[in-house]
Amino acid sequence: MPKKCLVSLVIVGFIVSAACAAKEFPYEKEQIGKLHLGLSAQAVKQIIPGKPVLGPDQLMGADGLYHQKWKYPQAGISLDMTSEKQGGPKSIESITVTSPSTLKTQRGIGIGNPAAAVAKAYGPFQNKEDSTPERFVAGSIFGGVIFTFQQGKVSGIFIGAAAE
């Protein structure tokens, strides 16, 4: 009898873990416009017109990568670009968009959309522990899409890891 219980518990565990895994949000595949995580600096330059305002290229101890902010204020886009060595080839580590950006996520959400539209598009992936009335987290703060709201409308969209 104990053997049957153990087998049943293992089966239930597999079922529960499979159900939980099905709800995980594949944030690393999310796009906003044509921008996505891992996109090369060369591709970014072809997608976003104009020159970015560049921050310093700094080594971060948390991940051992060199991080540099690329800001396009006229487009409402800020990118965290990373490389393995200082001045090396960079790629997108995280994306932030704010007004006046007109970019939309793959599920059609952009700046100015109502919070209800975010809940409808990303509801199955909402992390209720990390979400608040002013912030909707799809995935987690360790990797996901974070929507911020002002007066019930999307004021910012972040894709990536907001915490280490």
- What does each of the 164 residues of the chain score in pLDDT, given as a tens digit? 454 544 444 444 444 443 343 368 889 899 999 999 999 999 999 999 999 999 999 999 889 999 999 999 999 999 999 999 999 999 999 999 999 999 999 999 999 999 999 999 999 999 999 999 999 999 999 999 999 999 999 999 999 998 86
Examine residue 15 and state whether it is found in any structural domain, yes or no: no
Examine residue 33 and state whether it is found in any structural domain, yes or no: yes
Q: Quote the pLDDT of residue 9.
A: 44
Q: Quote the pLDDT of residue 2.
A: 53
Examine residue 6 and state whether it is found in any structural domain, yes or no: no
**CB neighbours of 131 closer than 8 A, spacing ≥ 6?**
137
Residue 88 belongs to domain spanning: 27-160
In a 10 Å sphere around its CB, with 0-12 CB exposed, 13-18 middle and 19+ buried, how is residue 124 labelled? Answer: exposed
